């Protein structure tokens, strides 16, 4: 990497949080070393790089670790301002809005999606689906138009922003959930803006290169659900 920069990403397939970082690095055109982690037997590198939470992803930049996917994406934007388009707008208010919707995705959409996708009982899955519908409706309304009334291609406007990256990394999980449950999350009739956005985002080169294969995610989910059922004796 130019300038003596060294980037190493600790991750595991098919984590959408790791995918976030991979998309961000791809959008910036940055090369990096990917180090796969076994979360059942965590490496010393992971334990020392993230001693508080001991979780992936971790980005190590010139020997210094950065943790938490949202923080990592913002770090990449700030550390490499001359590489690719900015993920955060310059205007303080617009930056606050972008961070708000990123936090909403993390706090509402992601846990609801996980519960609907991998809930232990049908009741849990139903509750997750209900919360997911609410989150999708809210995000559909937030997508809207820019200050001049023009339809925006991305949450970040004309270019991909941090909210796009946060939600875009979930596309494979969303599509796998749709396969398993038969419930359309990004429904073109109920959420046309989000449905069109998801297709647009998934076609970005940075996304196509790292978004997990949907069939693979479906099989992964089936395996995890079978393991959970065996552990509970069901």
Can you give the pLDDT at residue 150? 65
In the sheet with 33-36, reading across from the earlier edge strand, the strands are: 33-36, 7-11, 58-61, 64-67
pLDDT surpassing 90 at residue 56:
yes
Please report, for residues 49, 91, 113, 124, 185, the alpha-carbon distance to residue 130 in angstroms, rounded to integers and kept in the order given. 37, 35, 10, 10, 11
Across the chain, mean pLDDT equals: 92
First to last CA, the chain: 51
Which conformational region is residue 76 in: left (phi greater than 0), alpha (psi within -120 to 50 degrees), or beta?
alpha
**pLDDT at position 91 over 60:** yes
- pTM for the full predicted model: 0.94
Q: What is the pLDDT of residue 181?
A: 87
- Least confident window among 28-42, 137-151, 182-196: 137-151
Looking at domain 7-79, its CATH architecture is 3-Layer(aba) Sandwich (3.40)
Q: What is the pLDDT of residue 143?
A: 79
Please state the domain extents for the chain.
Answer: 7-79, 92-230
| pLDDT level of residue 157 (50, 70, 90 thresholds) | confident
Confidence of residue 164 (pLDDT cuts 50, 70, 90): very high
**The two structure tokens encoding residue 94:** 């617009």
Q: How far apart are CA 76 and CA 30, in angstroms?
A: 10
Q: What is the pLDDT of residues 92-127, one digit of tens each?
A: 999 999 999 999 999 999 999 999 888 888 899 889
Q: Domain 92-230 carries which CATH code?
A: 1.20.1050.10
What pLDDT does 225 receive?
Answer: 81
pLDDT band at 4 (very low <50, low <70, confident <90, very high): low
């Amino acid at each position: 990497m130019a300038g003596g920069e060294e980037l190493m990403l600790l991750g595991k397939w098919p984590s959408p949080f790791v995918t976030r970082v991979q998309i961000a690095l791809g959008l910036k055109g940055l090369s990096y070393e990917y180090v796969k982690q076994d979360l059942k037997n965590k490496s010393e590198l992971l334990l020392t790089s993230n001693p508080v939470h001991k979780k992936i992803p971790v980005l190590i930049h010139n020997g210094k670790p950065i943790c938490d996917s949202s923080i990592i994406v913002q770090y990449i934007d700030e550390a490499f301002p001359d590489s690719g388009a900015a993920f955060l707008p310059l205007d303080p208010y617009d930056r606050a809005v972008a961070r708000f919707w990123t936090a909403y995705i993390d706090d509402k959409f992601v846990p609801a999606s996980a519960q609907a996708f991998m809930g232990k009982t049908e009741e849990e899955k139903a509750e997750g689906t209900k919360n997911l519908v609410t989150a999708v409706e809210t995000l559909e309304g937030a997508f809207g138009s820019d200050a001049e009334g023009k339809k925006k291609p991305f949450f970040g406007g004309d270019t991909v922003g941090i909210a796009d990256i946060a939600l875009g990394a979930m596309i494979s999980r969303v599509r796998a959930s749709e396969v398993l449950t038969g419930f359309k999350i990004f429904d073109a009739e109920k959420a046309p803006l989000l449905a069109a956005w998801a297709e647009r985002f998934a076609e970005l080169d940075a996304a196509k290169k790292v978004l997990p294969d949907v069939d693979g995610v479906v099989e992964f989910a089936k395996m995890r659900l079978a393991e959970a059922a065996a552990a509970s004796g069901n």
